[in-house]
Copies of this chain bind each other. A is one copy, B any other.
Amino acid sequence: MRSSIATVCISGSLGDKLTAIADAGFDGYELFELDLVTSRMSPEEVVTRSADLGLSIDLYQPFRDFEGVAPGLLDRNLRRAEHKFELMNRLGIDTMLLCSNVGTATCPDDSAAVDQLGSLAALASRNGVRIAYEALAWGKFVSTYEHAWRLVEQVNHDALGICLDSFHILSRGSDLDAIATIPGEKIFFCQLADAPLMNLDVLSWSRHYRLFPGEGSWDLADFVARLVHAGYRGPLSLEVFNDVFRQGDPVVTARDARRSLVLLEDAARAARLPLAALQSSALDGLPAPDILAGLPRVDASRGFSFIEVQPGAGTAVDNVLVQLGFTHQGKHQRKNAQLWSQAGVHVIVNDDLTGPRPRLAALGFEVSNVQRASARAIALRSHLLPRDRAIDEDILDGILAPDGTEVYFSERDGETPSWLAEFGTGGSVPTTVPTLPPTGITHVDHVALVQPWQRADEAVLFYQSVLGLAVSDGLDLASEAGLVRSRSLVTADRGVRLALNVTPLQPETTEVYLNHIALHTDDLVATVSELRARGARLLPIPQNYYEDLDARLDLGAELVETLRSLEILFDRDDRGCFLHVYTMPIGQLFFEIVQRTQGYDGYGAANAPVRLASQRAEERRRPTD
């Protein structure tokens, strides 16, 4: 289906917006009145610019509050409409959106609205345009799509149809079955927005919290499938505005938007309810629109293939890895990168690129087919990272996540990751640190990535779509440095867990929000005892924490004493327990060592304020590095 987006979704001047919309691969756009009024481009220049960019102008939304008014006001409204129809002709736009009256309507009965919409339709027809009438969820007398459709049906004019907007319909919890009763050709337009579930007045919800499909809570695939089933063949158009997009980079927002629509179309095809219809004649008349056809979802459940840290900052990272029981495996054939491993956990320390402080630079995920995973990522509007590749190197395609993390796909060659061959086993250990025995690390439990708040929703969509992860939960954490929103993305078998921690709004406080790598052990007490014996620097935990733990949970004096003496944090949920410790930060990252028992499914969020306070206290103590 054709893709479209309202100019109001993104920031910048009209020229900026059109460039970004074309860049992201949209077919057309809805022109928002204010974007034209504030522009120095004349209508004719807008037409030329759009044609140059290959964009159609699908809809114009010049005014509201038309129908159900007193006769005198009707005349003024018709006069205004005629002005706008002339403008639409100059712009070459054939469809005008008319929202149901929220302000000036004074006639509650349908007959006045029918008469007045009829007059408008006749005027539109004479001017060669048509009207798509849409019920706003907070419309004064018309607030449901069923009601809007009854009016349109009664007017019964070729130049009047309806516009179905997912926000206005789903925010009211309307029954969607009536969509099937509307003839497809009378559905003139379709606007799509997702939203988080909120108990907020619907106007504020709409103004500040709309999201692109897949970033909120609604089943938009079902909504779209119903429209197609009803015979709708117009564009799928995004009308999403929130406080973040209004301020974001237009190119980033447009790409995020396009990604959401690609995924939505894919999901709509797979939607259960109208599956029969979609597979049969209902889709016959459509051009092949499926960008993702033949590109099955990526299954990242094979787990983390590697984690790359750069730079090593001399021996700082190596020292911690050695203490954690990692063994040096070799040096990369061409790069200044060292591989450290323990029980199938691979950490690459890359000194090819220098930076001020070590950071988590890349995550490798094992997939069944790298080429297909990459093709899907490209279809989802991600760009492959440039990567010089030796002829004998593994195919290892990378894309950039919104948070700046590089994400690589890799395959497995029998028991070993195929990229492993790139590391010569004969490479000498790069440091003088002696190798120590393993400490019981079994696998990567999770990776926690800090998300800039203005790109957090985009990141959730990115990781879901490109890696096939699912959102498992979300929570707010109040720490002494601000409010941290957290969302967890997982594979069904929990082989991959990503914890996305959204930074607070005020940038000065982000310095303690570091990425971290959580490693699992089956016996944290033993692992930590060994680490302490090795002199590892673990994050200090206040004694007050253990007094409170003792008061809160019936753990028994012995366990509390063990936890206290080793400064291990403890949490539990309905299923099991979670014990964890943190290393001191190394640059912009740190390690966590965890033990997860009996199906515990969280991340010790209750203890996060303790960690953040302790990191902040350490930050103050140590000299600036």
Residues on A lying within 8 angstroms of B by beta carbon are: 8, 11-13, 33-40, 42-43, 62-63, 76, 79-80, 83-84, 87, 198-201, 204, 207, 241, 243, 246-248, 454, 476, 478, 480-483, 504-507, 509, 540, 542-545, 547-548, 550-552, 554, 609-610, 612-614, 616-617
Partner of A544, one of B39, B79, B505: B39
Q: Which 7 A-B pairs have the closest CB atoms?
A: A199-B201, A83-B551, A38-B613, A247-B482, A247-B506, A37-B548, A246-B482
Q: Evaluate contact between B247 and A38: CB separation under 8 angstroms.
A: no
Chain B residues whose C-beta falls within 8 Å of the C-beta of A43 in the assembled complex: 544
Q: Evaluate contact between B478 and A246: CB separation under 8 angstroms.
A: yes
Q: Evaluate contact between B37 and A504: CB separation under 8 angstroms.
A: no
Q: Taking CB as reference atom, which chain B residue is nearest A201? A: B199
Q: Evaluate contact between B200 and A83: CB separation under 8 angstroms.
A: no
Known: A247-B504, A504-B247, A505-B505. A84 touches B480 (CB 8 A): no
Q: Determine how many copies of this chain the complex contains.
A: 2
Q: Can you identify 11 A-B contacts, CB atoms within 8 angstroms? A: A12-B480, A39-B542, A40-B614, A43-B544, A79-B551, A83-B551, A243-B483, A243-B504, A246-B504, A247-B482, A247-B504
Partner of A38, one of B84, B87, B243, B480: B480
Q: Evaluate contact between A34 and B609: CB separation under 8 angstroms.
A: yes
Chain B residues whose C-beta falls within 8 Å of the C-beta of A83 in the assembled complex: 547, 550-551
In the assembly, what is the distance between CA of A543 and CA of B46, in Å?
Answer: 14
Chain B residues whose C-beta falls within 8 Å of the C-beta of A613 in the assembled complex: 13, 38-39
In the assembly, what is the distance between CA of A432 and CA of B498, in Å?
Answer: 67
Q: Evaluate contact between B13 and A616: CB separation under 8 angstroms.
A: yes
Known: A243-B504, A246-B504, A480-B13. A84 touches B551 (CB 8 A): yes
Chain B residues whose C-beta falls within 8 Å of the C-beta of A480 in the assembled complex: 11-13, 35, 38
In the assembly, what is the distance between CA of A548 and CA of B80, in Å?
Answer: 9
Q: Evaluate contact between B505 and A40: CB separation under 8 angstroms.
A: no
In the assembly, what is the distance between CA of A522 and CA of B454, in Å?
Answer: 45
Q: Evaluate contact between B38 and A542: CB separation under 8 angstroms.
A: yes
Q: Evaluate contact between A610 and B37: CB separation under 8 angstroms.
A: yes
Q: Evaluate contact between B200 and A544: CB separation under 8 angstroms.
A: no
Q: Evaluate contact between B247 and A483: CB separation under 8 angstroms.
A: yes
> In angstroms, how far is the closest chain B Cβ from the Cβ of A407?
25
Chain B residues whose C-beta falls within 8 Å of the C-beta of A8 in the assembled complex: 478
In the assembly, what is the distance between CA of A246 and CA of B36, in Å?
Answer: 40
Main secondary structure of the interface of A (DSSP, over half): helix
In the assembly, what is the distance between CA of A543 and CA of B40, in Å?
Answer: 7
In the assembly, what is the distance between CA of A543 and CA of B41, in Å?
Answer: 9
Chain B residues whose C-beta falls within 8 Å of the C-beta of A454 in the assembled complex: 505-506
Known: A199-B201, A247-B505, A542-B40. A551 touches B80 (CB 8 A): yes
In the assembly, what is the distance between CA of A443 and CA of B191, in Å?
Answer: 49
Q: Evaluate contact between A547 and B87: CB separation under 8 angstroms.
A: yes
> In angstroms, how far is the closest chain B Cβ from the Cβ of A65?
11
In the assembly, what is the distance between CA of A616 and CA of B616, in Å?
Answer: 39
> In angstroms, how far is the closest chain B Cβ from the Cβ of A459?
16
In the assembly, what is the distance between CA of A87 and CA of B480, in Å?
Answer: 22
Q: Taking CB as reference atom, which chain B residue is nearest A506? A: B247
Partner of A545, one of B37, B201, B540, B614: B37
Q: Evaluate contact between A11 and B481: CB separation under 8 angstroms.
A: yes
Q: Evaluate contact between B482 and A617: CB separation under 8 angstroms.
A: no
Chain B residues whose C-beta falls within 8 Å of the C-beta of A617 in the assembled complex: 13, 40
> In angstroms, how far is the closest chain B Cβ from the Cβ of A62?
8
Partner of A543, one of B42, B483, B550: B42
Chain B residues whose C-beta falls within 8 Å of the C-beta of A248 in the assembled complex: 506
Known: A11-B480, A480-B13, A505-B505. A42 touches B544 (CB 8 A): yes
Q: Taking CB as reference atom, which chain B residue is nearest A551? A: B83
Chain B residues whose C-beta falls within 8 Å of the C-beta of A506 in the assembled complex: 247-248, 454
Partner of A243, one of B79, B505, B542, B614: B505
> In angstroms, how far is the closest chain B Cβ from the Cβ of A155?
23
Chain B residues whose C-beta falls within 8 Å of the C-beta of A551 in the assembled complex: 62, 79-80, 83-84, 87
Chain B residues whose C-beta falls within 8 Å of the C-beta of A550 in the assembled complex: 83
Chain B residues whose C-beta falls within 8 Å of the C-beta of A34 in the assembled complex: 478, 609
In the assembly, what is the distance between CA of A444 and CA of B65, in Å?
Answer: 36
Q: Taking CB as reference atom, which chain B residue is nearest A250? A: B480
Chain B residues whose C-beta falls within 8 Å of the C-beta of A63 in the assembled complex: 552
In the assembly, what is the distance between CA of A425 and CA of B614, in Å?
Answer: 63
In the assembly, what is the distance between CA of A87 and CA of B554, in Å?
Answer: 18
Additional pairs, 10, CB under 8 Å, beyond known A37-B609, A38-B614, A200-B201: A11-B480, A13-B480, A13-B613, A37-B542, A38-B480, A38-B545, A62-B551, A79-B551, A83-B551, A246-B482
In the assembly, what is the distance between CA of A38 and CA of B542, in Å?
Answer: 6
> In angstroms, how far is the closest chain B Cβ from the Cβ of A250?
10
In the assembly, what is the distance between CA of A481 and CA of B250, in Å?
Answer: 11
Q: Taking CB as reference atom, which chain B residue is nearest A508? A: B247
Q: Taking CB as reference atom, which chain B residue is nearest A8? A: B478
> In angstroms, how far is the closest chain B Cβ from the Cβ of A9?
12
Chain B residues whose C-beta falls within 8 Å of the C-beta of A554 in the assembled complex: 76, 79
